[in-house]
Amino acid sequence: MGAAQGRLFGALLQFLKRRSCTQTVVSSADQAGGVRNASCMISDRFLNGSIHLSGSPRDRLWTLQGLRILIVDDFAQMRTMLREMLVSSGADDIESVKNGEEALEAMSRRKPDIVLCDYNLGDGKDGQQVLEEAREHDWLPYSCIFILITAENTLEMVMGVVEHEPDAYLTKPFTRVVLQQRLRRLQEKKRRFAEIAHAVEHGEFMRACLLCDKAIASGDRYRFDLMRIKGDALLRAGDFAAAEKHYQHVLALRELPWAQLGLGRSLCQLGRWTDAVQVLEQAIKAKENFVAAHDWLARAQQALGKLGEAEQTLQRAVKLSPKNLRRQKALGDTALQNGHLEVAEQAFSQVLREGRNSIFGSPSDYGAMSRIYLAGDQADKAERVLGRMHRSYQRADPALQLKMAVVDGHVHAALGHEEESKAAMHTALKLFEHSPESLDREEAMSLAETCLVNGDNEAAAGLIQHVVRANHEDDAMLARAQDMFARVGLAEEGQKIIAAERKRLIQLNNEAVQLAKDGELKASVGMLLKAAHAMPDNVAINLNAAQSLLMLMQQEQCNWRMLRQAQDLLRRTQATGAGKRRHGKLMALAQSMEKTLQ
């Protein structure tokens, strides 16, 4: 192992003066006062090292020229200072903004290469939220460097405890040379992982894993970074059994929080809730502020039916990080289920407050708030929430209008305002016809209920069919649909509708399976793919389509196009219960086929 030794002395002084004079190292060292010897040694010693200092020839070539850089800071003088630092490193394409909203707007216009974002941005979003929303929108490709600038070096709510981490934290104040060195190191790292990142971004998860393994085996010095990327790739690929094994392996080497979280997530996805609880509780014990672990712990507790514990877990998480909307929503929903209306109200107040300027906000949040008031017999408040919703979404697109109409219809029905409810319902149904994909499962169920209350059984049946179509093997969902019909005295009709829809799907499935048995594999694949296209959320259909594709590939010939198609089907399938094992088996099969194609 070669030792790189640093004698930075005069070289740095020269660096500081580079703008005014481009002299040799020796002369600038002279000015520092009789240290000629020391600086001469630098160049000798660094010849066989890979660390480049300011005096090396490569350094003079390093520049930020041509890179799109975004500065986010609420303090004008800081923006100017950062800009000057960057300009002196050759940057010529810098945009400066003063808050999170402007930052997101700028990123949506064009993806930056480098983002320098202050954590503390005044009243609006903080830097961490900017990072999360930008990632959610896919405005930050892997190649982009995101640096979170902080005043503190111990940000207990952020560092190492959240799911989305920046590429680096930089504590204020820092000098230009330090910023340059950080940027250069990060660029080098990103370049090193470019091929792997490309594979991940194009959904070639197994290839990404193989590349990681290869790099680790070759002794790459960033082995833990590679292991982290591999774990993410396995989770994104949906290969949870392999992910579990991988994280266990990492944890045996080192107790790292991201590996504990990864293991917990894998166990949740595998439905091993009790094991997941144990792992996540241990992670939280070691790191009390670990909010991301709290989120998954609450999920596991919920799945185990421990709603009280789940609520407590979410309470703690929300206390740690009150700005995260999804967490507040989860708390509100759980508290409402537990009948803790005050907690639920508090959580959704926060959701409504923060949600207006966030992609995580939705008109349905106002619906949830109304439901909380209705549960507490506060009809006037429930109605006022609707007004607030309309004021918040004044220029809504059809998808949002549809969501608002669903909320309007539901709340007015609950308040006994028949006329208003019916009007909203008609609006919603008309919009739904054009874009049924705009409504999620809960919203569709809510609209169905409104239709039933208003006596439009036909529309309700259509909506429930829509939901059943996506969930025909989800018994809990079917029971809820059945219950809804029963509540308006239509138990029998409901049963008929649900049974008919189920039967239709089972028949389609059986036909396809029969075709496959008869050797008509291609016809079977065609039929199932068509069905999967029409019902993208249906687990069984998606799994069957993927399996038939894989069978066809085994029988005939493997090709990338078919493999990708099968993997896409598997990836979008959120299997639960019994489907999970089959899902895992098919993932493994697809993986082994991918290996033969490599």
Partner 1 sequence: MSAQGPQEAKLRPLDLTTILASSIHDMKNNLGLLLQTVETLEEQAEEPLSRRQQHYRDLRLAGLRLNQQMMQMLSLYKLQSHLYTPNVESWMMAEILEEACLEYVPLFAGRGLELDWSCAEELEGFCDRELVSGVIGNALHNALRFARGRVLLSARAWSHARGEGVQILVEDDGPGYAVPAVVSLGEDMASADGSTGLGLHFARLVAETHANHGVHGELHCDNESRFGGARCALRLP
Structure-block tokens of residue 244: 């579990």
How many residues of this chain interact with partner 1, rule: CB under 8 A? 64
Told to check if 40 binds partner 1 by CB under 8 A, we report no
Which of 26, 87, 178, 578 contacts partner 1 by CB under 8 A?
Answer: 178
Which of 92, 105, 136, 156 contacts partner 1 by CB under 8 A?
Answer: 156
Whole-angstrom CA distances from 497 to 149, 471, 482 are: 57, 14, 9
Whole-angstrom CA distances from 491 to 74, 335, 453, 456 are: 59, 30, 14, 15
Q: Nearest approach, Cβ of 11 to partner 1 (angstroms)? A: 8
Told to check if 536 binds partner 1 by CB under 8 A, we report no
Q: Nearest approach, Cβ of 488 to partner 1 (angstroms)? A: 38
Which CB contacts under 8 angstroms, 24+ apart, belong to 101-106?
Answer: 101/125, 101/357, 102/72, 103/70, 103/72, 103/130, 103/134, 104/130, 104/133, 104/134, 104/137, 104/139, 106/70
Residues in contact with 196: Cβ distance below 8 Å, sequence separation at least 6, in sequence order? 208, 211, 212, 215, 226, 229
Told to check if 172 binds partner 1 by CB under 8 A, we report yes
Cβ proximity of 504 and 535 under 8 Å: no
Nearer to partner 1, 282 or 401 (CB): 282
Short-list 438, 490, 417, CA closest to 459 = 490
Torsion over CA of 491, 493, 494 and 497, rounded to 10 degrees? Answer: 160
Q: Nearest approach, Cβ of 87 to partner 1 (angstroms)? A: 13
Select the span of 168-176, 231-239, 308-316, 541-549 touching partner 1 (CB under 8 A): 168-176
Cα–Cα distance for residue pair 449/457, rounded to 1 Å:
9
CA angle at 333 for the pair 268 and 407, rounded to the nearest 5°: 125
Residues between 380 and 409 with contacts to partner 1, criterion CB under 8 A: none
SS3 for 151? coil
Query: What is the pattern of x (binds partner 1, CB under 8 A) and - over residues 251-290?
Result: ---xxxx----------------------------xxxx-
Residues between 52 and 111 with contacts to partner 1, criterion CB under 8 A: 75, 77-78, 81, 84-85
Q: Nearest approach, Cβ of 290 to partner 1 (angstroms)? A: 8
Short-list 378, 368, 375, CA closest to 403 = 368
Told to check if 33 binds partner 1 by CB under 8 A, we report yes
Told to check if 2 binds partner 1 by CB under 8 A, we report yes
Which of 46, 139, 146, 169 contacts partner 1 by CB under 8 A?
Answer: 169
Cα–Cα distance for residue pair 361/268, rounded to 1 Å:
26
Which of 173, 322, 339, 519 contacts partner 1 by CB under 8 A?
Answer: 173
Short-list 598, 120, 560, CA closest to 323 = 120
Cα–Cα distance for residue pair 64/117, rounded to 1 Å:
17
Cα–Cα distance for residue pair 238/232, rounded to 1 Å:
10
Told to check if 16 binds partner 1 by CB under 8 A, we report yes
Which of 43, 120, 346, 495 contacts partner 1 by CB under 8 A?
Answer: 120
Told to check if 213 binds partner 1 by CB under 8 A, we report no
Nearer to partner 1, 151 or 534 (CB): 151
Select the span of 177-185, 403-411, 440-448, 476-484 touching partner 1 (CB under 8 A): 177-185
Q: Nearest approach, Cβ of 202 to partner 1 (angstroms)? A: 27
Which of 31, 65, 507, 559 contacts partner 1 by CB under 8 A?
Answer: 31
Which of 10, 112, 127, 361 contacts partner 1 by CB under 8 A?
Answer: 10
For partner 1, the binding residues (CB under 8 A) are 1-10, 12-13, 16-17, 19-20, 31-33, 35, 38, 49-51, 75, 77-78, 81, 84-85, 120, 151-154, 156, 159-161, 169, 171-178, 181-182, 185, 221-225, 254-257, 286-289
